[in-house]
Amino acid sequence: MIVLDDGPAPLYQRVKQLIVQNVASGAWGPDHKIPSENELVRDLGISRMTVHRALRELTSEGMLVRVHGVGTFVAGAKPQAPLMEIRSIADEIRERGHEHRAEVIWHQVEEAPADVASQFSVMPGTQLYHTVLTNLENEVPIQLEDRWVNPAAVPRYLEIDPARVTPHHYLMQQAPLSEGEHIIEAVLAEPWERKHLQIDKTEPCLLIRRRTWSNGQIISAARLLYPGARYRLGGRFMKRGS
């Protein structure tokens, strides 16, 4: 039985959510043919244009593949390796066989400063969740994580203990990732950042600004700061814009 969640969200977003849930749960595996537009129209009792918009957006987001005159299918394994990979630093460290520990510096509600507000497309002063912590590999600080989270998307975020459940894992579980953005640059760390990373004034750092979306809604914006001498970046990236 297919039924829409109720809620204040627009209809087409709830249709998208329904599809995403079926795919994320594994009920609809790769190459599964999903119900046709007319079937969804009949089952959900909504208009075809609304269904069509939901399916079209999910197609442009890479979750579905549509074939004119045939049907709509769950996107299978891509011909090349996954285009995006957002890894957890904790997983990375453990895969290297090292010990991982997180030291929480802040974990609270804060009013968004202007630069953060613009990234979230909200008014400055809007209340957001803010977590700052360092990730240590064998007791050596390897990353400073400065993360803002959208309370509307993840209302219970503040209840977690970031030292035990990494914010990354919690967010991935609460809001299946649909889109991400990485900006990579080399910078010098601020004094308070240097203190937590235990690095020298002249130490160049790799800065990764990461934003993630789920179902069109921004979930989180994070600044990830790596001491240059202790980290190298690898992986695949995709970029888009302007």
Partner DNA sequence: GTTATAGTGTTGTCTAGACAACTATGAGGC
Partner DNA sequence: GCCTCATAGTTGTCTAGACAACACTATAAC
The reply to whether 32 sits near DNA by the rule CB under 7 A is no
Binding to DNA by residue 117, rule CB under 7 A? no
Which option in DNA, a second copy, none does residue 177 bind, with CB closer than 5 to 8 A by kind? Answer: a second copy
Pick out residues in 103-122 that bind a second copy (CB under 8 A): 115, 118-119
Q: Return the SS3 of 162.
A: coil
**Binding of a second copy by 69 (CB under 8 A):** no
Q: Which of 32, 47, 36, 27 is CA-nearest to residue 70?
A: 36
Q: Which of 18, 21, 22, 36 binds DNA (CB under 7 A)?
A: 36
50 binds DNA (CB under 7 A): yes
How many beta carbons lie within 10 A of that of residue 61, not counting itself?
Answer: 16
164-188 residues labelled b (16+ CB within 10 A) or e (exposed): eebbbebbbebbbbbbbbbeeeeee
Position 38 contacts DNA (CB under 7 A): yes
Q: Which span sits near DNA by CB under 7 A: 6-14, 80-88, 146-154, 195-203?
A: 6-14
**Contact status: 237 vs a second copy (CB under 8 A):** yes
DSSP three-state, residue 4:
coil
The pattern of x and - marking residues 140 through 179 that bind a second copy according to CB under 8 A reads -------------------------------------xxx
Binding partner selected for residue 236 from a second copy, DNA, none, CB under the kind-specific 5 to 8 Å limit: a second copy
Q: Are 99 and 107 in contact (CB under 8 A)?
A: no
Give the Cα separation of 213 and 22 in Å (integer).
Answer: 18
Q: Does 24 bind a second copy (CB under 8 A)?
A: no
Q: Which residues contact 48 (CB under 8 A, 6 or more apart)?
A: 37, 38, 41
User: Minimum Å distance from CB 6 to a second copy?
Assistant: 23
Whether the Cβ atoms of residue 66 and residue 19 lie closer than 8 Å to each other: no
Give the SS3 label for residue 108: strand
Q: Which of 27, 49, 140, 152 binds DNA (CB under 7 A)?
A: 49
Stretch that binds DNA, among 65-73, 85-93, 190-198, 233-241 (CB under 7 A): 65-73
Which segment (46-54, 76-84, 164-172, 190-198) binds DNA by CB under 7 A?
A: 46-54
Q: Does 12 sit near DNA (CB under 7 A)?
A: yes
Q: Which residue has the tokens 């809007």?
A: 126
240 binding partner (options a second copy, DNA, none; Cβ < 5 to 8 Å by kind): a second copy
Q: Quote the CA–CA distance of 22 and 114 in Å, as a whole number.
A: 37
